Amino acid sequence: MNSSFRHFALVLIGVFLSFSLFAQNPPKRELRAAWIATVVNLDWPTKGAPSSTQRTELTTLLDKLKAVGINSVVFQVRSECDAMYPSNIEPWSYWLTGQQGAGPIEPFDPLQLALDEAHKRGMELHAWFNPYRVERVAASYALASTNVAVLHPDWVIQMEKYRFLNPGMQLVRDHTARVIADVVRRYDIDGAHMDDYFYQDGITNQDSFTFQSESRDFTNLGDWRRDNVNLLIKQVYDSIKAIKPNVKWGISPRGIWRPGYPPGITGSDNYNAIYCDALAWLRDQYIDYLVPQLYWTFGGGQDYAKLAPWWASQMNGRHFYVGLGSYRIYLENGKPYPTTDWPASDVLSQVRLNRSIANGSVFFRAKMGLTDNPKGLADSLKTNLYKYPALRPLMSWKETIPPISPSGLTIAKFSSFATISWSAPPAASDGNLADQYVVYRSTSLPIQIDDARNIAVIQTGTSYIEQSMPPAGVTYYYGVTAVDRLQNESALSNLMGFNAAGPVAVDESESLPKEFVLQQNYPNPFNPSTAISYQLSAISFVTLKVFDVLGREVATLVDGVRNAGIHTVQWNASYMPSGVYFYRIVAGNQIQSKTMQLVK
């Protein structure tokens, strides 16, 4: 590498590091999720209330989440070997009716309702399963005769008042995997999700007989216990892939893997306390996403500013969503800051940090810590960080065929509003139809669809009512894309505009870029995939290549003739180490370069 290019590389690195810390545009893609806990009726429902009341409670909660800007919910369907849906495997939940095994008097499927209502609001729904817990407090209510612990008492470990299924038994793994597979098969869920209740803290020799009888040649008890958990997680992953490969599978472990990882972190050794080895799941890639529960603020022995980047570096190509303890904004049991009584600004700062290292945030929990607007948190999200809608992140290892573009976009202007309408596209080559539409609005051409600030709305219908009228002398231009269930996005429809005088036809040649531009990749930093967009004002022979900091070429992304317009290409860097990379485009006699950062 010659000295001038080396100097140029060092300058770009410095600029990149400076701006990545302070400049932050709203992301076009971001998971914005909340857990809806049903155990102990934390978020929903009112136990034993009429079904009509429970329905209203759930739809109202989803409305409030939508208003905050949430685009995904994690809905608890199994909390104590029970079901928040009709099941032939496990009994109705006590937390629904007040009697385990007794269904609603008025026929009612909570999971189906949650699915239907979430999808109406453009939200994903992930069904949340507790893998082993039988009873939080033994004998606090009567178990149904069909509860697995009643049918198979020899499968149960009891530690004081806490009871859970024995993770070392293959019969237990088969039972839990069967429960999850049943839901994947019967319901149109977007994801399956498991929480952090594995072995119970303090376990000693309660499973010694199982270790002897089902050791699988393990001689170390800790290694065997961790492998028991790993086997269940892989078994579920394999069954989901076989049944519905596009359903996502994720886990939310406790936020500390082991003390000292990274240096300075103290706390529970979950690797040896509950036998949770999240790094093994990432290493072998039998989960699609991980949501470590980082329920701490900045500083101290559980410093968020250390833990979040450390987890980001471990993802090995899988999605990283951060579990945020927004419930700690409240003062709890008189425990002062930083344990509880957080300012809302702490959580907002965590969301900002997540945008530079993660694929999104998940709030614990929906009712307490989010929709109840503690210290103005929800207001700040609505008016600032979540002001603009966001698509959910793409999973490059799943189906990636985009829908066909919508067509026939028209605008009808009235005195105080305008109606933008379009025709739904036919099925794409994979047979999938459009699931949602993204309406883009811009005051100039071409419409920059990579800028989230140009998103007017993400919705399911094929018409949009624009109630914001353009000021005098300004034209609003519109285009629409289609997205499928996995959020693959089509190209833009035809374009139209309107101003104070009425609708404005757009000559498609006017919508072409007027200049050559290489955009900053998104997301950035990234792991392992990122999108690079560029625009051409004329047909050109284009090369787009990626280089490491030593100037060595590591990938060729484009090498051929491209038409005038906006183009986007993906780079999957799963085979590359973490670090700063340069990407360089040559189009005719024009050259531009930018930097990006891969963080694993």
Instruction: Count the Cβ atoms, other than its own, within 10 Å of residue 582.
Output: 21
SS3 label, residue 248: strand
DSSP state of 370: I
pLDDT tens per residue, range 13-71: 334 333 443 456 899 999 999 999 999 999 999 999 999 999 999 999 999 999 999 99
b/e code 433-443 from CB counts within 10 Å (16+ = b): ebbbbbbbbbe
144-153, 358-367, 470-479, 562-571: range with lowest mean pLDDT: 562-571
Residues 6+ apart with CB under 8 A from 463: 419, 420, 421, 422
**Rounded CA gap, 252 and 292, in Å?**
5
278-282, 361-365, 595-599: range with lowest mean pLDDT: 595-599
Torsion of CA 300, 301, 303, 308, to 10 degrees: 180
Structure tokens at 27: 């992301």
pLDDT tens per residue, range 442-497: 999 999 998 999 999 999 999 999 999 999 999 999 999 999 999 999 989 999 99
pLDDT at 2 over 70: no
Whole-number pLDDT of residue 20: 44
What is the separation of C-alpha 49 from the centre of its chain, rounded to a whole number of angstroms?
Answer: 32
Whole-number pLDDT of residue 11: 39
pLDDT at 124 over 80: yes
Band (pLDDT 50/70/90 cuts) for residue 394 is very high
Task: Report percent pLDDT > 90 for the chain.
Answer: 84
Residues 6+ apart with CB under 8 A from 57: 44, 45, 46, 49
Beta bridge partners of 496: 478, 505
Answer yes or no: are the C-beta atoms of 253 and 278 closer than 8 Å: yes
Structure tokens at 563: 């038409």
**Rounded CA gap, 278 and 280, in Å?**
5
Whole-number pLDDT of residue 12: 41
Average pLDDT over residues 385-411: 94
Average pLDDT over residues 144-162: 98
Predicted TM-score (pTM) of the model is 0.87
**Domain architecture of the chain: domains with CATH:** 32-385 (3.20.20.80), 407-505 (2.60.40.10), 514-598 (2.60.40.1930)
Structure tokens at 62: 């989803």
**Rounded CA gap, 250 and 360, in Å?**
13
Average pLDDT over residues 147-160: 98
Whole-number pLDDT of residue 381: 98
b/e code 527-552 from CB counts within 10 Å (16+ = b): bbbbbbbbbbbeebebebbbbbbeee
Order the strands of the 540-547 sheet from edge to edge.
553-562, 540-547, 579-587, 590-598
Degrees to nearest 5, angle at CA 496 with 491 and 498: 145
Peptide bond into 78 cis (omega under 30): no
Order the strands of the 529-536 sheet from edge to edge.
517-518, 529-536, 565-572
Whole-number pLDDT of residue 564: 78
The chain-wide mean pLDDT, for the chain, equals 93
Structure tokens at 521: 């990749």
pLDDT at 306 over 70: yes
**Rounded CA gap, 156 and 148, in Å?**
9
pLDDT at 110 over 60: yes
pLDDT at 409 over 60: yes
Order the strands of the 502-505 sheet from edge to edge.
455-459, 436-442, 476-483, 496-499, 502-505
What's the one-letter identity of residue 489? E
DSSP state of 29: B
* Phi, psi of 487, deg, nearest 5: 75, 20
Which residue would you say has higher pLDDT here, 15 or 84? 84
pLDDT at 8 over 70: no
Band (pLDDT 50/70/90 cuts) for residue 7 is very low
